Amino acid sequence: MEAYLGKLLAVLYVALGLGFVIFIHELGHFLLAKWSGVKVLRFSIGFGPVLVSYRKGIGLRFGSSTRRYEALVQAEREGTIPASAPELGETEYVLSVLPLGGFVHMLGEGPQDPASERSTDPRAYHNKSVGARMLIISAGVLMNLIFGLVCASALYLGKTVEIAPRIGAVDAGQVAYEAGIRPGDEIVAVDGRAGVSFDDLRRLIAFSGAGQALRLDIRRAGQEELLHLTVSPYRTAHYDIPTIGIGPSPSLALSTLQPFSLPPGMEGAPKGPDGGFQPGDTVIALGPAGETPTPVASPEELNRLLSRYANRPIDVVVERAAKDRDKGKGVAKGPTPKQATITVPVNHFVDFGLRLAIEPIVAIRPDSPAAKAGFREGDRIVKVDGREDFDPMRLPDECFWKAGEPLTFEVERRTAGGVIETITLTATPDDTPIWAEPVYRDEPLEVPGLGLAYGIAPKIVAIRPGSPAAKSRLKVGDVIRSLTYTQSVPGQKEGEKVTLAFDKQRASWAYAFDQLQNEPKQAVLLSVANSETPVTITPAPVADWFNPRRGLEFQVWTRELPPQDPIAAAQRGLRDTWDSVLSIYATISGLVQGRIGKDAVGGPIKIADFAYGAARLGWKSFLPFLGMLSINLAVINFLPIPPLDGGQFLLLLFEVVRGRPLPERWQLAFLAAGIAFVLGLLLFVSVNDIWSYFRPAG
């Protein structure tokens, strides 16, 4: 019952919030019109048939009061209305059926009003000075900007939490990887701007210009001086905005929603107090089961320990919130932390038993063992320690367990003249954690211990005896075209089918393989070239291949900002408001240039969806959303397109230049073209919204 009530309240908040943003906008027009002496006929929230109206002298009523008002005005002219009758208001305030906008109807506002009224009534909008009309047109936008500023500033008056600018994932082959950025790095400043959050960093990257380079000042653990790296963001095939290939750092606190997910290769389930891991637990130590655990202070330390003990059951020590209770009364005396130890079984990688072909190296991390050994992009590894039968998917594992030992590699390298020659290189892997989780669908496989990445061609070169593949009709030489699996959806019993195509989508085998490590054990479909029937196959745990991840789900690393005084809060709010305005213009520019994809923008459906999600999280999420929406409304509404405010402002600029208004037929043509464009755009984003929810995953 409480869950349904919460959803109902969230819907109510959304309706009231969106309605208020529209109200604020129209209130700006209304107040400036009244202040300028313009006769306002109607103040409407929403479009279409009128649900409820209010007019002074008539009161609140269902439907419009226009007919009643006209009848009373006529009676007043004829002298048939009593002198004691209440004074009639000239403005009708209405709530209409479609609350997706609103308007203020002023006498003589546009070509649709009778020319006689526009030319004779001194209170008609048309008869006011150009300056007054510009102020009236701009007032709605100004009110939205002020409301956005108030929302942004109000948030800083209390404690606020933001995602820390600490790097978690660095995607192999992306800009950040090749620049030398590493997990655990803290971004201190971007182009000299200090105090950025991870969201600020993501925004600055996303809205960078074509060819623009960003200077990152980085603090790295163990180094006293800051690092200064330069990156040039770009848009990848599977992302709608420019990126450099980084993700926020996880914290040591487990998710408050789902702290643990049982991997398909785990030998049993975790055991400990209260049934195992609990939402909000914080990992403080880890070690082999039954031995003294090692304290953990960072996600990087945690990952190293998970890799070091990947082949052994481990004890994970967590700090857990608890409540002391007065014995016999059950009265909570306050939260006190306690420690709990959970024993977690070994987790194995699951696979089909296929050895696939290795592709050339596509990325090398600066100052890595591979860079020091002389590897180059384009090299193709053909032997490891003299072995041709090495599995490229297991090379990250082999390098970790042989960290500190020199390994010999034979690589094929194409010379400037096009000749392929074989070169022998010696590299000593370091103990960088075994597995780097691919984020992008076309991401190559990284060998963290070497600091290089290569692709995996979905062509079978060998099948392991006794494996699931050996029991299927797959054979050496087959080329896998796609993989279809069921992806879990939080909060739903039924997952959704996802197809990863290795040819058309250029999805990587490394990405597909990683997805299977995170989903419950299941049969998947492999589509094979030159075969009409897909192969149904279930991946199985590999006895001697240990997955360092143990199913732990972590919260993102955040930092808490103390309450700000009103001046500091206003300064931060002004900065956020200005950033939002610039971001909107950058989005429009990026869409025109093709630097930002169409799926990066949302229409009414996505806006309502985001609003509902923010409302469910509480006012600290909903308030900044409303502020952002208000700023978006201001900027979009001031674009030079009729019937938007910006289009009306443009007509006034023409009037200033010409010394008189544009001919009425030109205004009508301009208005018709603008309406057609706006309706077409609204239809496009709405269809795009719907398609984003119903298109097949993959």
Residue where one domain finishes, among candidates 294, 319, 348: 348
The contacts found for 133-138 with CB under 8 angstroms, 24 or more apart, are 133/652, 134/649, 134/652, 135/32, 135/36, 136/29, 136/32, 136/33, 136/36, 136/38, 136/106, 137/29, 137/645, 137/648, 137/649, 137/652, 138/638, 138/645, 138/649
Averaged confidence pLDDT in the chain: 87
Could you report the per-residue pLDDT of 62-76, keeping only the tens digit for each?
999 888 888 887 877
* C-alpha span between 167 and 198 (Å, rounded): 9
The pLDDT of residue 336 is: 64
Residue 490 has pLDDT above 80, yes or no: no
The answer to whether residue 432 sits within a structural domain is: yes
The pLDDT value recorded for residue 538 is 96
Range of lowest pLDDT (319-323, 369-373, 668-672):
319-323
Q: Specify the range with the lowest mean pLDDT, choosing from 398-412, 473-487, 655-669.
A: 655-669
Of all helices (H) and strands (E), which one includes residue 607? helix 604-617
Please indicate, yes or no, whether residues 380 and 527 belong to a single structural domain of this protein: yes
Decide which of 323, 348, 373 is a domain's last residue.
Answer: 348
Q: Is the pLDDT of residue 675 over 50?
A: yes
Q: What is the pLDDT of residue 322?
A: 64
- Crossing angle between the packed helical segments 645-658 and 130-155, to the nearest 10 degrees: 150
CB 290 within 8 A of CB 299: no
Predicted confidence at residue 523, as pLDDT, reads: 94
Share of the chain above pLDDT 90, in %: 53
Looking up residue 502, the CATH number of its domain turns out to be 2.30.42.10
Residue 620 has pLDDT above 90, yes or no: no
- Residue indicated by tokens 């002023």: 106
Q: How confident is the model at residue 536 (pLDDT cuts 50, 70, 90)?
A: very high
- Judge whether residue 385 has pLDDT over 70: yes
CB 39 within 8 A of CB 106: yes
**Shared domain check, 575 and 437:** no
Q: Are 572 and 433 members of one domain?
A: no
Rounded Cα–Cα distance for residues 398 and 385 (Å): 11
Structurally, the chain folds into a number of domains equal to 4
Examine the domain organization and report whether 110 and 135 are in the same domain.
no
Q: Is residue 601 part of a domain?
A: yes
> 118-132, 345-359, 363-377, 615-629: lowest mean pLDDT where?
615-629
- Domain for residue 550, yes or no? no
In this prediction, residue 695 carries a pLDDT of: 61
- Does pLDDT of 20 surpass 80? yes
pLDDT digits (tens, 9 = 90+) for 104-114: 889 887 655 55
413-422, 556-565, 615-624: range with lowest mean pLDDT? 615-624
Residue 324's pLDDT is 47
Complete edge-to-edge strand list for the sheet that includes strand 420-427? 380-384, 407-414, 420-427
Per-residue pLDDT reduced to its tens digit, 410-423:
999 998 888 999 99
Domain range holding 284?
A: 251-348
Residue 240 lies in a domain: no
Indicate if 506 and 655 belong to the same structural domain.
no
How does DSSP classify residue 271?
B
Q: What is the pLDDT of residue 390?
A: 96
SS3 letters for 194-214?
ECCCHHHHHHHHHCCCCCCCE
Predicted local confidence at residue 261, as pLDDT: 93
Q: Is residue 67 part of a domain?
A: yes
Question: Does residue 531 share a domain with residue 403?
Answer: yes
For residue 327, is pLDDT > 80?
no
pLDDT in the model for residue 328: 40
Residues 367 and 465 in one domain: yes
Residue 544 lies in a domain: no
Three-state helix/strand/coil letters over 97-112: EEEEEEEEEECCCCCC
Six token digits for residue 495: 């997952």
Give the pairing of strands 524-528 and 535-537.
Answer: antiparallel
Query: Does a structural domain hold residue 552?
Result: no
Candidates 591, 635, 576, 598; CA nearest to 210 is 591
User: Are 3 and 80 in a shared domain?
Assistant: no
Give the pLDDT score at 697: 53
CA 517 from chain center: how many Å?
A: 24
Boundary residue ending a domain (538, 556, 588): 538
Residue 142 pLDDT class (50, 70, 90 cuts)? very high
Least confident of 155-164, 178-187, 328-337, 631-640: 328-337
Give domain status of residue 619, yes or no: yes
Q: Which residues pair with 453 in a beta bridge?
A: 363, 446
Q: pLDDT band at residue 671, thresholds of 50, 70 and 90?
A: confident
pLDDT for the residue numbered 3: 56
Average pLDDT over residues 626-646: 88
The pLDDT value recorded for residue 349 is 97
**Residues 88 and 138 placed together within one structural domain of the fold:** no
Report the pLDDT value the prediction gives residue 600, as an integer from 0 to 100. 65
Shared domain for 132 and 121, answered yes or no, is no
**pLDDT mean over 493-520:** 87
CA torsion sign for 216, 221, 223, 225 is: positive
Q: Name the 3-class secondary structure at 645.
A: helix
pLDDT at 618: 73
Q: How many helices (H) and strands (E) does the chain have?
A: 15, 29
Tell me, yes or no, whether 574 and 652 share the same domain.
yes
| Residue 84 confidence (pLDDT) above 70 | no
Mean pLDDT of the 54-68 span: 89
Tell me, what's the pLDDT at 331? 40
d(CA 612, CA 607): 9
Phi, psi of 445 (to 5 degrees): -90, 125
- pLDDT of 47 > 90? The answer is no
Lowest mean pLDDT among 232-236, 508-512, 566-570, 585-589: 585-589
Question: Contact 313/291 with Cβ under 8 angstroms?
Answer: no
d(CA 344, CA 306): 11
The whole-number average pLDDT for the span 195-222 is 91
480-487 and 524-528 as β-strands: parallel, antiparallel, unpaired? antiparallel
Q: Is the pLDDT of residue 323 over 70?
A: no
Rg (CA), the chain: 32
Q: Say how many CA atoms lie within 13 Å of 367 toward its Cβ.
A: 5
Q: Same structural domain for residues 382 and 422? A: yes
Contact between residue 253 and residue 267 where contact means Cβ atoms under 8 Å apart: no
